[in-house]
Structure 1
Amino acid sequence: MARRFDPALTYDAVVVGSGATGAVAAQTLAEQGLQVLVLEAGPELSAQQALGSEPRNIARRFQHLLAGRHRLQSQHPGYWKNNPDLYIDEQLNPYTTPAEQPFLWTRGRQVGGKSLSWGGITLRLSEREFAQGWPVGHEDLAPHYSALEQQLGVWGHRDGLELLPDGDTQPAAPFTPGEVQLSKTCESLDLPFIASRGFARHRPSRDGPWPRFSAQGGALQAALASGRVTLRSGALVSQLLLNPAQDQTEGVLFIDAATGAIEQASARLVVLCASTIETIRLLLLSRDDHQSGGLIDPQGLLGLGLMDHVSVARFFTLPAQPPAPAGTGLSGAESCFIPNTGEGYGLWCAVQRFDPPSVLQRQPDTALGFLIGHGEVQADGRNRVVLDAQARDAWGLPVPHIAMGWREPEQQLLEQMLERIHTVVDAADGMVRPIEELLHLPLVEPWVRTSAAGSQRPGPPGYYIHELGGVPMGSDPATSLLDGWNRWRGCSNLLVTDGASWPSSGWQSPTLTSMALTRRACLQAGQASH
């Protein structure tokens, strides 16, 4: 059971954020005997409150949309399958962008963070990706990847692909008949086709009340069970506290979300896992140009090089297939991939995994599928996060101003991904069509036509919810803020281990790698503390 926060205590470590990486940080440090304080900006919910249920979730969605709380986040299809209370109130927590550069920022502010709405795909990065500016390689992260895959029970095959390293996984989900057909097509095109690697759908009888992919179903549960973790919810961290020499952090200031009171937590180690843009904002609020005696950023790199995977999605039909087995569904594990073969992208796909009732299908004698390409984006200093000079959130803190756009390399990658999608579907005798031409969508069709999810155009930056970079790790102090152990240069007891630490994006879903980076960094920091 978590202990109560003691403001008079100097903790061994403070972890900011309780999502996928914050949970791993807390578990890793606690298992080494450290007393750990986890600060989470949002509330602590029961499993029933967090997951919700239909049709009450539907009613909440329309309540939030009518009130203007989720105008932007509702553009993502994940919003429509999860409890909408897992998405932040945009009116209380605004952000700004240039008028010509929209950014769709999806946030989850509660204990567990976005792990509660995560798609649950777990792909390792290969040496190809690590060669692009990383101070670590697959060999450095392999034991941490394996430990997490084993603990969390990830599904997948061992496929023997150099550009997508195998994991320590449980047996993969079987393909549907339509996916078998697509795999044969890919074989004829000399393209790999593999079962996805990740988490299956939540089954309380197997997993307990919390999904395995959530922090509460994995690392956070283990951290709290250690008896060495204090979890304080409703704590908005607003500033790092540094010593007079500005070379060691001594803790953090945070705002009580309910009362607005400012409190202090002292610690010998601070680990930032607040999510990429929130971590950048906290560091900007703590930098010496904003706070006297604050964090030193000698090269002015903080916030530069924001990335998100560029993506494009297409629905399609295949000729009639045998029915999928009973109980077939869609999840991070129950789906497929046509992984990259060196081009810097992969295609996530599924066939016969979300077939609606035949009355809603415009072509009920076909098999419905999708292909979603997501491609790597390199860090570009023009893509950045700064503090807005005027706008404030509900607690009076400056909000992020996010400036990011797709440039020529991303446009070329989009064209390649679209070409590959059409090549695969055409070779399978299928047909690519907009979703509204495949399904009758009463009530929601106007939303589909105008949303980023339903558009035939690429999603804007932020849409894929894989924001990365802005506090890069690296080998060269002139181009990186963190060393090879995720430590802030010049302040070795400050770690940044979430997506903000990435120097390049790769194409793979990033959460597992961020968790592995966190485990590696916190093991090193814990050993150094003894």
Structure 2
Amino acid sequence: MINKPYEAIIVGSGATGGMAALTMAKAGVRVLVIERGPELEINRANGTEPCNMIRRLIGVTTGNYQNQPQHPGFWKSNPLLYANKKANPYTHPPKAPFMWTQGNQVGGRSLTWGGITLRLAKEDFEASKEKEYNLEWPISYKDIESHYSDIEKFLKIYGSKDDLNQLPNGEYIGRIPFTESEEKFASNVKEKLNLPFIHSRGFGANKDKTIWPRSSSLGSTLKEAIRLGKVEMLSNHIVEKLVLNKNRNAAKSIIIVNQCTGERSEIESKLIILCSSTIQTIRILLSSEEKNNPNGLIDPSQSLGRNLMDHISTCRFFTVPIDKNLTNYSNKDNKSLLTGAGSFFIPIGRDRSSKYNFVGGYGIWGGIDRFEPPDFLKKYKDTKTGFLIGHGEVLPNNKNTVSLSKNTDQYDISIPHISIVWRENEHQMVREMNRMIELIINSGNGTIIPANEILNIPFTKKILNKSVAIRNDAPPPGYYIHEVGGAPMGNNKENSVVDNWNRVWECSNVLVVDGACWPTSSWQSPTLTMMAITKRACEKAIIDFKG
């Protein structure tokens, strides 16, 4: 059992947990990081083929993996990094599916993160003040600008300074070149449509499988935090709830459950930082709230668990003809890997004009010749294969909720009930994203193809025909793994759960810094912003703590 007097407890060890641990460790604060999953050796986390494929197939046939096979990452990563749904249950309304991807291991979902690092823009924070939004950011771009820069420099990410209002410049070590097919495609799209077409921003490939990738907390933030000697890990323990003091104005401890023995215990701390991913953080807060726990957490706004969001997405695959004048035409072993930075981005952003019937912004991520099948498996010869994925902003809606189910898990902990559906604004956005994607492909001399025709293998058609990613309408919520909201930041406790420094209003020694604290979803990939918000909140907590 943990006996040391830790000054701060961090719940979760992924992108935000690692950032919180590093910020605290740099300030000399003694930290315990609690992770519900195991600590994996790097060889076990990576796995090998064909063993990984055997695990995938067994998981699919037994029903342990139900939603995960819908995600492309599931088929290129070790399936052990995707939580078994039977052992980690949740519920949703029968007609409103939610595809929740959990990463329960030290490092969390950072071990399977795609690694795209986009900043939110000034306009994204300001847009929340418009009448269509029922929640408003209490911070501005300027409040986290320096934190963005510090994190980008530390992580050593790739990108280019494109001077776009909808996507601020960052601090980059260079950029990963386009493939020649992408270069030609970009030239056509820019000339015909005058759209911003930029190198994607993020991480390159991790070619050395003996070290953790820098996109993971284990290869960057958490690694450095542990090296500084102030951080210890407690893995395989679930945080059930907070325990408040007699006055209910601060948390004195947390209740944890040992997954190996089922034993419950209590750990005290002066500061508790919730970084366990949006839905798990909401579950912990709901389990601690006075409606579900005598003498529990007070939520004056009565909004805890409301306004859950995810990005809405749509995808198209296409081919472009091979230009035999390109230098890589004869290179059959072309290995331009698809990564967060090894790809391109078309950041459309926001348009407040009246020509569209939706509110919000969106962007389009893509790549060509990044996952090229062998010639003998391709249905369309003398072509290169590409994809475009649009992902767009979802408006906060208090009917999109996370609550506690009447069902419990094997440790008698209430499981999340997730209820969220796409509404008319999102459907309008998807229609516009599809129109734009098709326009871009046509302008780039591409030809849209069904996903089940990428490979000329009969049995793959049956598998891909069931994929939600290739439907004309949007995949269900959760698919894009960008869930945010449910315990939003705000300027007053009547309409928010935490203040502008991420402190729970009535329990100021509890910080909520992961995606749960977001008032709006914006449209950019959220992880970099989550890390910047975490760093800002933790630095403020250190000042308060020392004061």
TM-score, normalised on structure 2? 0.93
Aligned position for 1:333:
341
Q: Distance in 2 between matches of 1:55 and 1:142?
A: 44
Which of 397, 402, 408 is the equivalent residue of 1:385? 402
Alignment-derived partner of residue 72 in structure 2: 77
Partners of 1:171 and 1:394 in 2: how far apart? 49
Match of 1:415 among 424, 431, 442: 431
Q: 1:77–1:453: 8 Å Cα contact kept in structure 2? A: no
Summarize deviations over 1:21-67 as a string: whole Å, max 9, x none. Answer: 00110110111011001000000001111111211110111121122
Q: How far apart are the structure 2 equivalents of 1:162 and 1:103?
A: 33
- The residue aligned with 1:167 is 170
Kept in 2: contact 1:11–1:36 (CA 8 A) = yes
Query: Is 1:376 matched up with 2:372?
Result: no
**Which of 262, 265, 268 is the equivalent residue of 1:263?**
265
Number of the residue aligned with 2:2: 6
Matches within 5 A, 1:473-484: 473-484=489-500
Q: Given the alignment, which residue of 139, 143, 167 partners 2:146?
A: 143
User: What displacement does 1:514 show?
Assistant: 0.2
1:194 counterpart residue number: 198
- Deviation sequence 1:173-198 (CA, Å, 0-9, x none): 11112211221122121100000000
Q: Residue 312 of structure 1 aligns with which residue? A: 314
Superposition deviation, residue 442 in structure 1: 4.9
Q: Secondary structure at the match of 1:338?
A: strand
CA RMSD, aligned part only? 1.3
Deviating above 2 A after TM superposition, structure 1's stretches of 4 or more consecutive aligned residues are 321-327, 441-445, 453-457
Name the residue aligned to 2:133: none
Please point out which of 367, 383, 389 is paired with 1:366. 383
1:328/1:353 contact within 8 Å kept: yes
In the other structure, the counterpart of 2:224 is: 222
Q: CA deviation at 1:457?
A: 3.0
| Number of positions where the alignment pairs a residue of Structure 1 with one of Structure 2 | 522
Please report how far the alpha carbon of residue 75 of structure 1 lies from its aligned counterpart in structure 2 after TM superposition: 1.6
Could you tell me which runs of 5 or more consecutive residues in structure 2 were left unpaired when the two chains were aligned: 129-135, 352-360
Matches within 5 A, 1:177-256: 177-188=180-191, 189-204=193-208, 209-256=211-258
Distance apart, 1:264 and its partner CA: 1.2
Is the contact made by 1:312 and 1:418 (CA closer than 8 Å) also made in structure 2?
yes
Q: Which amino acid aligns with 1:220?
A: L
Paired position in structure 1 for 2:356: none
Whole-angstrom CA distance in 2 between matches of 1:433 and 1:486 = 46
Conservation of the 8 A alpha-carbon contact between 1:93 and 1:394: no
SS of equivalent to 2:340: coil
Question: Aligned equivalents of 1:167 and 1:51: distance in 2?
Answer: 30
Cα distance per residue 1:111-154 (max 9 Å; x no partner): 00000000000000001111112111111111111111111111
**Structure 2 counterpart of 1:403, from 419, 427, 438:** 419
The Cα offsets for residues 227-278 of structure 1, whole Å up to 9 and x where unpaired, read as 1111000110001011011111112110000000001111000000000000
* 1:37 and 1:229 in contact (8 A); partners too: yes
TM-score by length of 1: 0.96
Please tell me whether residue 290 in structure 1 is matched to residue 292 in structure 2: yes
**Partner Cα distance (2:269, 2:458) in 1:** 54
Alpha-carbon distance in structure 2 between the residues aligned to 1:408 and 1:32: 47
Q: Is 1:86–2:88 an aligned residue pair?
A: no
1:358 CA drift (Å): 0.6
- Conserved? CA contact 1:318–1:430, under 8 Å: yes
Cα deviations by residue, 1:198-237 (Å, 9 ceiling, x for unpaired): 01111218xx610110110000001110111110001100
The alpha-carbon deviation at position 164 of structure 1 amounts to: 0.1
Question: Are 1:467 and 2:467 counterparts?
Answer: no
Q: Cα distance, 1:298 vs. partner?
A: 1.6
The SS at the match of 1:362 is coil
Quick one: distance in 1 between partners of 2:84 and 2:236? Answer: 14
Tell me which amino acid in the other structure corresponds to 1:146: S
- 1:331-367 deviations in Å (ceiling 9; x for gaps): 0010000002424000001011111101111112112
SS in structure 1 of the partner of residue 239 of structure 2 = strand
1:19 matched to 2:36: no
Quick one: percent identity of the two aligned structures? 44
What is the rounded CA distance, in whole Å, between the counterparts of 2:410 and 2:348 in structure 1?
Answer: 43
Q: Which amino acid aligns with 1:223?
A: A
Structure 2 counterpart SS, 1:340: strand
**Helix, strand or coil for the counterpart of 1:453?**
helix
Residue number in structure 2 paired with 1:438: 454
Cα deviation 1:82-103 (Å, max 9, x = unaligned): 1000011111111111111011
Give the AA of the match of 1:384.
Answer: T
Query: What secondary structure is seen at the aligned counterpart in 2 of 1:469?
Result: strand
Letter in 2 for 1:187: K
Amino acid at match of 1:30: A
Write the letter of the residue equivalent to 2:386: G
| Secondary structure of residue in 1 paired with 2:308 | coil
Contact 1:434 1:456 in 2 (8 A): no
- Structure 1, gaps ≥5 residues long: none
Asked if structure 2 preserves the Cα contact closer than 8 Å seen for 1:270 and 1:495, the reply is: yes
Classify 1:171/1:193 alpha carbon distance in 2 versus 1 (closer, same or farther; 3 Å).
same
Tell me, yes or no, if the aligned pair for 2:408 and 2:414 is still in contact at 8 Å.
yes
Letter in 2 for 1:446: K
**Is 1:155 aligned to residue 158 of structure 2?**
yes
The letter for the 2-side match of 1:238 is: E
Q: Distance in 1 between matches of 2:180 and 2:338?
A: 14
Q: Is 1:425 matched with 2:441?
A: yes
Report the counterpart of residue 354 of structure 1 in structure 2. Answer: 371
Give secondary structure in 1 for the equivalent of 2:152.
helix
What code does the residue aligned with 2:244 have? L
* Alpha-carbon displacement from aligned partner over 1:428-460 (angstroms, at most 9, x marks no partner): 221111111232245433221102134343110
For residues 70 and 423 of structure 1, the distance between their equivalents in structure 2, rounded to whole angstroms, comes to: 36
Secondary structure in 1 matching 2:161? coil
Q: Give, in whole Å, the separation in 1 of the partners of 2:536 and 2:349.
A: 28
Paired with 1:231 and 1:122, the residues of 2 have a C-alpha distance of 27
Contact 2:186 2:444 in 1 (8 A): no
What is the match of residue 110 of structure 1?
Answer: 105
Q: Verify the 8 A CA contact 2:18 2:222 in the aligned structure 1.
A: yes
Give how far 1:513 is off. 0.4
Q: Is the 8 A contact 1:374 1:507 kept in 2?
A: yes
Q: Which whole-Å CA distance do the structure 2 matches of 1:447 and 1:399 have between them?
A: 30
Deviation at 1:492, TM superposition (A): 1.0
Q: Is the 8 A contact 2:314 2:469 kept in 1?
A: no
**Mapped contact 2:300–2:493 kept (Cα < 8 A):** no
> Which segment drifts farther, 331-340 or 70-79?
70-79
Q: Which whole-Å CA distance do the structure 2 matches of 1:6 and 1:15 have between them?
A: 14
Stretch deviating more after TM superposition (472-481 or 84-93): 472-481
